[in-house]
Structure 1
């Protein structure tokens, strides 16, 4: 039976600052000891939930040894984050009312209640729901044909990201990456099949890294992107190397450093780089330049990305990881960039046009993109429009396991709160306060 926590944990366990510190240090032994002493949760039940031997749980609780492997840290962390009381741990990022952006400020009102999120995240649950995605039997000798099967599986799994947030896909994508890594360690290959598998590893690391980023695991995302960069170099795959660099630029904390990394990603482009990849790398350079406050460089990068799509040869093969890049996505990125540069008269028309073509089925992404439209409306003084768009985005983001939509909308709500006398603003503040 899956581990179920008690219906009411002691209040001091839920609010213990020391608990937060030991979690940050991956000191799970202290967590286990406190869970038993304060909440009465036996080690046998903790062991079952965390896929550990009971004796190992006891050793950790006594301070004997530490959990150091990345995979086991992830597995234990996810196992302990049970919806509801979560064994006294902090809520998962997209459930937390204490989002960055001063959500709990007087401007917004009372904190959000936790939302119910999709629970199809476990590997077993997704495997049951998607039987076609069962991994092919692992051979002892890997051929290029087998690598092709794994690549097609990776492409099918990527479709999960269209409807499920990174908080729900991370463990699935990470499991694929770890399995491929084990295969590289244990199997035999021809030189070509090994190179192809290393390239697939780079692709899977990017997939897992993106899910980590989307689910609020910034450090995990950066580590996976770095591993992707190393694998892409080993595989001599310039396109994946460029994408790894673009991902690293996307989350670099220093805007000027992000521009440098994004520019280096574009330097990997060659005459053989597919149009979709060219457009993707240049639009991410545009974003980095916009965040850094360089309007002329932003516009140049956007024009280069558009030229790549305009000059795309019919039926030119594109890697699946870049297949989503099209005119609509580029229009959205254009609007995002002009919003970031505080040019609402340029941002609003292109965002409205693009979002009219964007299906609500892609709830997380549309909520995110609407947040930039709302931001531009605020900058333009169109308070009623901003409130309407914000409410729509907030509703789309409900239940999506991603930290990003709400994180983007909080500053917009704080700005809207300065116009509480407007009825549309009152409506959206009431909607978000009760979420």
Structure 2
């Protein structure tokens, strides 16, 4: 899909953004406008630290549509248009992530496809790789691990990617391999991610990897090892990081706690698993995301055979699920 096609496809969704001056048809954009768009996109992105996709999906989609209309209608140089198109790619990823988090998978995939087209039009290999990574991550969640797309995401960006971008794409590739049951490939991708994290690079990192740090990397490794049924490796690392992980990041912490709960179950520590599951359920209450509830439900399914234990029945009750398999 070329620029005119994806800009035209998005134009019908355009709604003026609230609180931001938007130039009309015939106006001219410059690099200062691009910087303004990037700053606003960065601010919007940080809402995801505290809110679920159900809370942000319409805001992000509205921003994407308004930016798309603005770029379509305004005049600018080739360089400015390319930079604006990269902003559209970023915003489409935000909109796709929120839709994914809200359980709107068809909408999410459309946004990710839009992002991929925009990133390619902007000649931004890192953004294109990230769009592919999002698509692969979504398919893992749907129970269809797509190793080819996950591998392509890293291959697309590898030559130009900054260290944090490499780390992010490699860790997501490791997750896809882990869910597919590819132990050696998952371990290899995690090792490459750890190596990439040690690389020193003078280039600034894109804002869309601002959250990638050592703790997030350790959590991803722990999740992969849980998925691969390696509780002796998963439990210590997840316990360590989650003990200092702020509860204000309720959605993410709730999901990560379910990985710890699964690891405890694999290690035969049922009561510990139940305690952690109850913490996850209480954190997830009221969060505008379908994902924590889905993950908690899977842990509860494994806990039900032990429902005679008070701590297990308490966890199931906190999750709002029946003690017998009716969900």
Q: TM-score, normalised by structure 1?
A: 0.68
Aligned to 1:420: 307
Aligned to 1:135: 20
**Residue 210 in structure 1 maps to residue 97 in structure 2:** yes
Match of 2:246 among 331, 341, 359: 359
Match of 2:293 among 379, 403, 406: 406
Distance (whole Å) between structure 1 residues aligned to residue 143 and residue 302 of structure 2: 24
- Offset at 1:73? 8.9
- Offset at 1:270? 4.2
Residues 163-192 of structure 1: per-residue CA shift (max 9 Å, x gap)? 010001001100111011111221101011
Contact 2:126 / 2:160 at 8 angstroms: preserved in 1? no
**Residue 285 in structure 1 maps to residue 155 in structure 2:** no
- Offset at 1:151? 0.7
Aligned to 1:258: 146
Contact 1:374 / 1:387 at 8 angstroms: preserved in 2? yes
Aligned to 2:259: 372
Residues 370-418 of structure 1: per-residue CA shift (max 9 Å, x gap)? 1110111111110110011000000111101000001001011111111
**Residue 349 in structure 1 maps to residue 255 in structure 2:** no
Q: Which has the higher helix share?
A: 2
**Residue 433 in structure 1 maps to residue 320 in structure 2:** yes
Structure 2 alignment gaps of length 5 or more: 1-8, 323-327
Contact 1:136 / 1:150 at 8 angstroms: preserved in 2? no
Match of 1:154 among 41, 44, 53: 41
- Offset at 1:434? 7.5
Distance (whole Å) between structure 2 residues aligned to residue 390 and residue 381 of structure 1: 15
Match of 1:324 among 205, 211, 216: 211
Contact 2:54 / 2:289 at 8 angstroms: preserved in 1? yes
Contact 1:255 / 1:292 at 8 angstroms: preserved in 2? no
Distance (whole Å) between structure 1 residues aligned to residue 85 and residue 320 of structure 2: 48
- Aligned CA RMSD, in angstroms, stands at 2.3
Residues 215-264 of structure 1: per-residue CA shift (max 9 Å, x gap)? 00000000110111011000000000000000011112687761110111
Residues 114-142 of structure 1: per-residue CA shift (max 9 Å, x gap)? xxxxxxxxx99xx6xxxxxx324426101
- Offset at 1:144? 1.1
Larger Rg, first or second structure (1 or 2): 1
- Offset at 1:345? 1.3
- Offset at 1:365? 0.5
Contact 2:250 / 2:284 at 8 angstroms: preserved in 1? yes
Residues 283-328 of structure 1: per-residue CA shift (max 9 Å, x gap)? 0100010011101100110011111112234x64111101111110
Distance (whole Å) between structure 2 residues aligned to residue 297 and residue 136 of structure 1: 48
Aligned to 1:336: 223
**Residue 180 in structure 1 maps to residue 67 in structure 2:** yes
Aligned to 1:249: 136
Report the CA distance shift for 1:189/1:281 in structure 2 as closer, same or farther (over 3 A).
Answer: same
Contact 1:135 / 1:153 at 8 angstroms: preserved in 2? no
- Offset at 1:357? 2.6
Distance (whole Å) between structure 2 residues aligned to residue 71 and residue 375 of structure 1: 45
4+ runs deviating over 4 angstroms:
69-75, 253-257
Secondary structure of 2:276's counterpart equals helix
Paired residues for 1:47-62 under 5 Å: none
Contact 2:10 / 2:69 at 8 angstroms: preserved in 1? no
